[in-house]
C-alpha cells in the first residue's frame, strides 16, 4: 500500500505528504487583456454602462486585498442621495473585482438619474 502506514492502533492511516508551496495563481484572461479590448468586452456584456480607457494610478485593490492585484478599473455610480447603507459613488478595483463593483453600482443606481454608470479601464 502506498502513502499509508500502520499506526499503534493497528490500522492504516494515510501518510501526510511533505508540504509544498502552493502553486502561483494563474492570471485570469481578463487580467492579460489590453485595456481597449477589456473595455470593449465590458461594453458588450454590460448594456447601459459607459466604458472608456483612462490612466489609473496602480494601488492595491481594496476590494479583494489579494497580494499583487492592483487597481486597473474605476467605477462611478449614481446612488440615491438618501441611501442608508454604503452606496457605491466611486470605487477603484482590480479586474477580478470590477464586475462585483459594477453590479453594486447598478443595483444602487438612483432610478431618477439620467446619468449612466461610468467605468474607466487602464492597463
Higher pLDDT, 94 or 83: 94
Contact by Cβ (8 Å): 54, 84 = no
Q: What is the DSSP letter of 33?
A: S
pLDDT in tens, 2-13: 555 555 555 555
In a domain, 36, yes or no: yes
Residue 1 lies in a domain: no
Residue of higher predicted confidence among 97 and 86: 97
The CA-atom distances, in angstroms, between 107 and each of 12, 29, 54, 73 are 55, 26, 24, 18
* CA-angle at 107, arms to 101 and 109, nearest 5°: 95
More confident residue, 68 or 95: 95
The answer as to whether 23 is a domain residue is no
Considering the domain boundaries, does residue 17 fall inside one?
Answer: no
Look at residue 96 and tell me if it is in a domain.
yes
Mean pLDDT of the chain: 82
Number of domains in the chain: 1
Structural domain of residue 115, as residue ranges? Answer: 28-121
Question: pLDDT grade, residue 112 (50/70/90)?
Answer: confident
56, part of any domain: yes
Q: What's residue 18's pLDDT?
A: 59
Amino acid at each position: 500500500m502506498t502513502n499509508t502506514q500502520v499506526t499503534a492502533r493497528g490500522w492504516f492511516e494515510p501518510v501526510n505528504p511533505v508540504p509544498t508551496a502552493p502553486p502561483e495563481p494563474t492570471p485570469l484572461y481578463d487580467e492579460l487583456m489590453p485595456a481597449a479590448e477589456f473595455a470593449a468586452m465590458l461594453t458588450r456584456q454590460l448594456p447601459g454602462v459607459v466604458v472608456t480607457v483612462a490612466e489609473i494610478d496602480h494601488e492595491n485593490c481594496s476590494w479583494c486585498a489579494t497580494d499583487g492585484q492592483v487597481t486597473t478599473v474605476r467605477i462611478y455610480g449614481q446612488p440615491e442621495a438618501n441611501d442608508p447603507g454604503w452606496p457605491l459613488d466611486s470605487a477603484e478595483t482590480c479586474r477580478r473585482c470590477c464586475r462585483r463593483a459594477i453590479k453594486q453600482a447598478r443595483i444602487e443606481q438612483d432610478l431618477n438619474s439620467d446619468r449612466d454608470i461610468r467605468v474607466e479601464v487602464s492597463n
